[in-house]
């Protein structure tokens, strides 16, 4: 039976969760739901992180696949997880290997079409030591009112865009991307805010990997994202220096891998990433980690969607008259919802996950 990749993808978090649970169940995975105690969906629904597990408890090697670290980016990751569970091409799961699939690590963001969580926190900037002074981001400080303006009126946005363009002209476009997206810990109402305490989802994922991979010597991690790069193209991003053995390993597993630290990637170097947190949580294991980042639309369009959404939730009304247009814009920025895009996401995800399984099974 040929599977139609379009059917893997969902229209919202709730449909995605349903598809994931059905596919996980059909494949014989054990499922646990972790309720988010701090937030509800747009209609008051419960929100859960769902974890499905296959393979022996004391496995020596395992693969972790995460979707929805950035909420609204979860459409792609959820589709990839569902497709992978349904695909018969990988029916012969290597016996000693453990598979841990985490669906919607940030369920609030997925359900509300936000990149951040219920505390306006970017989870992928939250894995810092909260007992220590937070890193500074001088570029963000300089541009904060242009990055997160007080309203969305045309005049305000023109002034904001002018300031951003001037910064890019002086320092380069990548420096602008870095200032905006590297992460900041000083403005809870701003963008790319890393939080000033460990978020619930961050604590959960650390707990899950410590428990599930307690016996593992080798762990592979694929965290699926969208919004950076060329339409439908899936770049594997590592944060490792070129001299790190992990960098060489990611290349052996996946071939073309781009490092943020070497300035090769569509992504800027970021602070407090989930990759760094998960690697630190598994000191006993050889961890190989890649963020699989799918491009959607041009960076500026994506940024405008994020900026409007930040305004809507911080200063506007997420259920008010401005919401439908803003929500359509941000959803489209991270989930094109087109057949060709879904097909590209599925094919690339399947390839990346199968390469990881092969590498782990080979030992
Ligand atoms: Zn992301």
Position 297 scores a pLDDT of: 97
Task: Record the tokens describing residue 52, joined without a space.
Answer: 């499905």
- Distance (angstroms) between ligand 1 centre and the Cα of 128 equals 17
- Statement: the pTM of the whole predicted model exceeds 0.85: yes
- Distance (angstroms) between ligand 1 centre and the Cα of 2 equals 30
Specify which residues 64 forms β-bridges with. Answer: 100, 221
- Distance (angstroms) between ligand 1 centre and the Cα of 95 equals 32
- Distance (angstroms) between ligand 1 centre and the Cα of 61 equals 26
The structure tokens 């969580």 sit at 117
- Distance (angstroms) between ligand 1 centre and the Cα of 57 equals 30
Q: 227: which residues sit within 8 A by CB, 6+ positions away?
A: 70, 73, 115, 293, 294, 295, 296, 302, 333, 334
DSSP state of 30: E
- Distance (angstroms) between ligand 1 centre and the Cα of 237 equals 11
Tell which residue, 270, 247, 245, has the closest CA to residue 259: 247
Length of the chain (residues): 363
- Distance (angstroms) between ligand 1 centre and the Cα of 69 equals 7
* Separation CA 176–CA 142 (nearest Å): 11
The structure tokens 């008051």 sit at 44
* Separation CA 289–CA 339 (nearest Å): 28
- Distance (angstroms) between ligand 1 centre and the Cα of 226 equals 6
For residue 235, give Cα distances in angstroms to 78, 228, 256, 259, 260.
Answer: 17, 9, 8, 10, 12
Contact 80, 271 (CB under 8 A): no
Position 266 scores a pLDDT of: 81
- Distance (angstroms) between ligand 1 centre and the Cα of 114 equals 11
How many C-beta atoms surround the C-beta of residue 37 within 10 A?
8
- Distance (angstroms) between ligand 1 centre and the Cα of 306 equals 12
Contact 63, 129 (CB under 8 A): no
What residue spans of the chain are helical by DSSP H?
13-26, 74-86, 107-112, 138-147, 154-171, 173-181, 200-212, 245-254, 274-281, 299-314, 323-334, 339-362
| Per-residue model confidence as pLDDT tens for the chain (363 residues) | 578 999 999 999 999 999 999 999 999 999 999 999 999 999 999 999 999 999 999 999 999 999 999 999 999 999 999 999 998 766 778 889 999 999 999 999 999 999 999 999 999 999 999 999 999 999 999 999 999 999 999 999 999 999 999 999 999 998 999 999 999 999 999 999 999 999 999 999 999 999 999 999 999 999 999 999 999 999 999 999 889 999 999 999 999 899 888 788 888 888 999 999 999 999 999 999 999 999 999 998 999 999 999 999 999 999 999 999 999 999 999 999 999 999 999 999 999 999 999 999 997
- Distance (angstroms) between ligand 1 centre and the Cα of 73 equals 6
What are the chain's domains? 5-131+192-300+330-362 (3.40.630.10)
- Distance (angstroms) between ligand 1 centre and the Cα of 9 equals 18
Position 265 scores a pLDDT of: 82
Burial class (CB in 10 A: 0-12, 13-18, 19+), 63: buried
- Distance (angstroms) between ligand 1 centre and the Cα of 56 equals 31
């Amino acid at each position: 039976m040929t599977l139609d990749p379009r059917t893997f993808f969902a229209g919202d978090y709730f449909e995605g969760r349903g598809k994931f649970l059905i596919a996980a169940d059909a494949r014989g995975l054990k499922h646990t739901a972790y309720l988010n105690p701090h937030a509800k969906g747009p209609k008051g629904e419960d929100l859960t992180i769902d974890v499905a597990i296959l393979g022996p408890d004391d496995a020596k090697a395992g693969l972790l696949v995460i979707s929805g670290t950035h909420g609204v980016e979860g459409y792609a990751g959820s589709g990839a997880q569902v497709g992978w569970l349904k695909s018969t091409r990988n029916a012969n799961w290597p016996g000693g290997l453990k598979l841990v699939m985490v669906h919607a690590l940030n369920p609030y963001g997925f359900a509300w079409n936000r990149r951040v969580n219920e505390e306006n926190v970017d989870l992928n900037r939250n894995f810092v030591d909260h007992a220590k002074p937070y890193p500074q981001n001088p570029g963000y400080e300089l541009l904060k009112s242009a990055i997160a303006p007080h309203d969305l009126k045309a005049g305000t946005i023109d002034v904001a865009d002018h300031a951003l363009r001037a910064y890019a002209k002086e320092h380069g476009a990548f420096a602008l991307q870095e200032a905006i997206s590297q992460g900041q810990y000083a403005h809870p109402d701003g963008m790319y805010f890393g939080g000033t305490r460990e978020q619930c989802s961050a604590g959960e994922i650390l707990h899950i990997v410590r428990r599930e991979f307690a016996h593992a010597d080798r762990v592979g991690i694929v965290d699926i994202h969208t919004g950076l790069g060329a339409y439908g193209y899936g770049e594997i991003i590592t944060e490792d220096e070129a001299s790190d053995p992990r960098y060489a390993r990611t290349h052996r597993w996946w071939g073309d891998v781009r490092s943020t630290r070497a300035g090769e990637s569509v992504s800027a170097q970021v602070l407090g990433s989930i990759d760094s947190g998960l690697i630190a949580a598994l000191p006993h294991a050889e961890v190989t980690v890649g963020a699989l980042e799918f491009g959607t639309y041009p960076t500026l369009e994506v940024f405008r969607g994020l900026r409007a959404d930040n305004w809507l939730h911080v200063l506007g009304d997420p259920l008010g008259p401005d919401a439908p247009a803003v929500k359509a814009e941000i959803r489209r920025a991270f989930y094109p919802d087109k057949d060709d895009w879904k097909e590209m996401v599925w094919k690339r995800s399947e390839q990346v996950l199968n390469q990881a399984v092969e590498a782990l099974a080979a030992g």
